[in-house]
């Protein structure tokens, strides 16, 4: 892949972000996964800090929740399954990573389950983004949760957003 689409992706991510300069992003994806590039470079190019976790924390939702809280993480890229597990633990524990301002999910269909809906409702200043795009072109189209979470059971990019993919790249 040429560097042009990747530069466009990072530029687009920074423009769409609501985070202030210097925000903290969790490095959740392994380096072998394409989203790791987006996590790292969109953070660094916006003057942010990247926080690293061990494999044990990555695999344990309770440890992940504790880490997000203790490290004041503001942005998080997660696949749906990990987001669901995090939301369930946050719900069960009655605790939230209150500094989170952006949750970006990709890689599989996002479903707004009751625990995810409750977490997003309680994180008043947090935006939930569902991104889609094949690695070959690199991402992106994105949809932002705008309806109340309990009214969104399947959160997929619209046909219009999919058509804009070409113009972004």
Q: How far is CA 1 from the centre of its chain?
A: 23
Radius of gyration of the chain (CA): 15
pLDDT tens for 50-61 read: 999 999 999 999
* Longest distance between any two alpha carbons in the chain, whole Å: 45
Whole-model pTM?
0.80
pLDDT at 64: 98
How confident is the model at residue 167, as a pLDDT?
A: 43
Q: Lowest mean pLDDT of 60-64, 102-106, 142-146, name the range.
A: 142-146
* Domains of the chain in sequence order: 23-168 (3.40.50.12780)
For residues 38-66, average pLDDT: 95
The answer to whether the CB of 102 falls within 8 A of the CB of 131 is: no
Nearest residue to 20 via CA among 80, 74, 81: 74
Q: Phi then psi for 107, rounded to 5 degrees?
A: 95, -25
Tell which residue, 72, 82, 71, 67, has the closest CA to residue 30.
82
User: What is the rounded CA–CA span in Å between residue 126 and residue 149?
Assistant: 12
Vertex 102: Cα angle to 99 and 128 (nearest 5): 125
Question: What pLDDT is stored for residue 143 in this prediction?
Answer: 67
Are residues 49 and 22 in contact, defined by beta-carbon separation less than 8 angstroms? yes
Handedness of CA 32, 38, 44, 49 (dihedral sign): negative
């Amino acid at each position: 892949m040429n560097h042009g689409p990747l530069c466009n992706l990072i530029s687009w991510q920074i423009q769409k972000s609501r985070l202030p300069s210097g925000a903290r992003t969790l490095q959740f994806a392994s380096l072998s996964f394409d989203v790791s590039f987006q996590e790292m470079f969109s953070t660094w190019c916006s003057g942010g800090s990247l926080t690293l976790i061990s494999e044990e924390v990555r695999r344990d939702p309770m440890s992940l929740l504790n880490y997000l809280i203790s490290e004041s993480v503001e942005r998080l890229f997660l696949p749906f399954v990990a987001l669901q597990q995090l939301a369930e633990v946050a719900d069960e524990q009655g605790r939230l990573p209150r500094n989170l301002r952006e949750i970006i999910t990709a890689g599989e269909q996002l479903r707004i389950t009751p625990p995810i809906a409750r977490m997003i409702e309680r994180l008043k200043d947090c935006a939930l983004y569902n991104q889609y795009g094949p690695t070959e072109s690199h991402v992106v189209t994105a949809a932002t949760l705008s309806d109340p979470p309990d009214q969104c059971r399947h959160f997929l990019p619209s046909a219009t957003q999919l058509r804009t993919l070409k113009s972004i790249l």
